[in-house]
Amino acid sequence: MTAQSVKIKPFHDQKPGTSGLRKKTRDFMRPQYLEAFIQATFNAIGGGHGKAFVIGGDGRFFNAEAIQTIVKIAAANGASRLIIGQNGILSTPAASHLIRKYGTDGGFILSASHNPGGIDEDFGVKFNAANGGPAPEALTAKMFNETKALGSYEISDQPDIDLTRIGTTKITAMQVEIVDPVSDYLALMEELFDFNAISALFAGGFRMCFDAMHAVTGPYAHAILEDRLGAPKGTVVNGIPKEDFGKGHPDPNPIWAKTLMDLMMSDKAPDLGAASDGDGDRNMIVGRGAYVTPSDSLAVLAANAHLAPAYAKGLAGIARSMPTSAASDRVAARLGIGQYETPTGWKFFGNLLDAGRVTICGEESAGTGSDHVREKDGLWAVLLWLNILAKRNLSVAQILTDHWATYGRDYYSRHDFEAIEASKADALVTELSDKLPDLPGQSFAGLTVTKADEFSYHDPVDGSVSTHQGLRVYFDGGGRAVFRLSGTGTEGATLRIYLEHYEPAEGDHSQDPQTALAPLRDAAYTLSRLTDHTGRSDPDVRT
């Protein structure tokens, strides 16, 4: 093997978002595009000489080819050890666990998360740091600066490695280990949860349906739910990962997991329905006739976490992203533990977790996790729900009803307006931002604004400040609307409007969320001049 230096012109569109660099697959397939980003990442971390890395992805189109390229660049940059999931497969939480367990210097995770896959769809690359979590903002800023100045990349001329065979090989001085993607993760889950209680639950006739959406969690769910815990064969559906996710959209919400939702709302519904996304870090939970919003799921899991062995001694604190409802805040207050509100993006939880300030974290975008890794973890959330159901002997609907009777209910919904022309989305946000100081006291669609601001985050651990993290408008009666441009899409701009209304414990918890939130929706759309700016009046996705 020899290494060569390839001269290139720098790319100027490789700024990582909240979860790495995401583009259309064909963009990554352009000559030198992927190579440039990987080399820029090595440069940003001080080079690869003598370092170890985990590599894996969700199996989407171009996953295997991208891994071969990363291996060759790692070799040319002097890496000493690579740990790669068999067939190039690793869920994002499993990759985080391997980074932490084997003490590597970081990892490359190939995924565009919940976005569709295929040659004409989306691809992504994310670098996770040595703590197992997504690269912090300071590092992604260095990576972006490197991409804009990069004049060459280093790559070896070695042949492709065999990703199918478990075992260890050497490429000159670099050790390459192909590992079972599931075994280490399964062992971790056995440490966290009462598998005997969950096995007894299934043995007693409990039924569930887990939709892996032809994404990465299929092998994990088969191994854990069916093989280890004894759930009947067929509990896991769409369990074979496919390059295009079976031409589906691997986003676990009521829109894209409609088949599961229809089942759970029918008279044939099992006791629990669950789904996970492309790379395995998100989850959807739904009981028989009872959809659980991600915000409520976070709150319920936090309130009942003590029922699982790993959390029996209590929680250090709870963290949520700013757009997530305040339901988990009420749990933290009752437990007398810390509560933290961060910007969107799991990387913001990393400092809190590393400092021992929080144990459980969550985002309204269906991500929930704990200090066992430094990523959100879809299967972890499903297993914690199963542990709780096994211990409480109640249905999902009964657990929700009991929770609302104790803490009150945060009616919540997110409205997504996708592929908006970027200039129009920017104009809406800029105009709304400019008028925030004048909004208090004004009324829109019958609701009066009490407070309005732009969210900034002061990290209590390292003192860093993150600004421009979303616009918040509060209304009399306990309502809140948040406006934010998403960083996870690959076309145009996605405007997300988050609506939340709190109903106290003694209030009415039986309303349909869209009905309960209709006045707030009308006020939010009106004050933002949504239709004037975008020509839209209905969201593409409502969750």
Q: Kindly list the distances between the CA atom of residue 497 and the CA atoms of 104, 258, 322, 421, 539, in Å, as whole numbers in the listed order.
A: 39, 22, 12, 16, 9
* 331 three-state secondary structure: helix
Q: Which residues, other chains included, contact 22 with Cβ-Cβ below 8 Å and sequence gap of 6+? A: 112, 113, 115, 122, 123, 124, 488, 489, 490
Closest C-alpha to 526, from 497, 484, 503, 500 = 497
Catalytic site includes residue 295: no
- Residue 416 CB neighbours (<10 A): 18
123: amino acid identity, one letter: F
Triad 126, 131, 136: Cα angle to 5°:
50
351: amino acid identity, one letter: N
pLDDT reported for residue 2: 87
For residue 160, what is the DSSP state?
Answer: P
pLDDT reported for residue 332: 98
- Residue 534 CB neighbours (<10 A): 18
From CA 209, how far away is CA 151, in angstroms rounded? 51
From CA 443, how far away is CA 245, in angstroms rounded? 46
What token pair was written down for 310? 């790993």
- Residue 137 CB neighbours (<10 A): 17
pLDDT reported for residue 18: 76
How would you class 271 by CB atoms within 10 Å of its CB: exposed for 0-12, middle for 13-18, buried for 19 or more? middle
From CA 154, how far away is CA 408, in angstroms rounded? 57
Annotated catalytic residue, options 19, 91, 113, 156: 113
From CA 276, how far away is CA 393, in angstroms rounded? 24
Query: What Rg do the C-alpha atoms of the chain give, in angstroms?
Result: 23
What token pair was written down for 498? 């988050």
Q: Which helix (H) or strand (E) holds 168?
A: strand 167-171
From CA 265, how far away is CA 254, in angstroms rounded? 11
Triad 201, 92, 293: Cα angle to 5°:
55
From CA 278, how far away is CA 83, in angstroms rounded? 21
Positive/negative CA dihedral, 504, 508, 510, 511: negative
Positive/negative CA dihedral, 334, 340, 343, 345: negative
Q: Which helix (H) or strand (E) holds 453?
A: strand 447-454
Beta-sheet strands, E only, within 371-433: 409-420
pLDDT reported for residue 458: 95
Closest C-alpha to 395, from 486, 507, 264 = 264
From CA 101, how far away is CA 94, in angstroms rounded? 10
DSSP string, 309-339: GGGTT--SEEEEETTS-THHHHHHHHHT-EE
The total number of residues shown for the chain amounts to 543
Cβ(104)–Cβ(81) below 8 Å: yes
What string of pLDDT tens digits covers the 543 residues of the chain? 788 999 999 999 999 987 899 999 999 999 999 999 999 999 999 999 999 999 999 999 999 999 999 999 999 999 999 999 999 999 999 999 999 999 999 999 999 999 999 999 999 999 999 999 999 889 999 999 999 999 999 999 999 999 999 999 998 899 999 999 999 999 999 999 999 999 999 999 999 999 999 999 999 999 999 999 999 999 999 999 999 999 999 999 999 999 999 999 999 999 999 999 999 999 999 999 999 999 999 999 999 999 999 999 999 999 999 999 999 999 999 999 999 999 998 889 999 999 999 999 999 999 999 999 999 999 999 999 999 999 999 999 999 999 999 999 999 999 999 989 999 999 999 999 999 999 999 999 999 999 999 999 999 999 999 999 999 999 998 899 999 998 555 567 999 999 999 999 999 999 999 999 999 999 999 999 999 999 999 998 888
Beta-sheet strands, E only, within 215-256: 236-237
Cβ(319)–Cβ(381) below 8 Å: no
DSSP string, 332-384: HHHHT-EEEEE-SSTHHHHHHHHTTS-SEEEETTTEEEETTSSS--HHHHHHH
From CA 53, how far away is CA 50, in angstroms rounded? 10
Closest C-alpha to 95, from 80, 110, 81 = 110
* 218 three-state secondary structure: helix
Q: Which residues pair with 109 in a beta bridge?
A: 56, 126
What token pair was written down for 119? 């040659």
296: amino acid identity, one letter: D
- Residue 108 CB neighbours (<10 A): 26
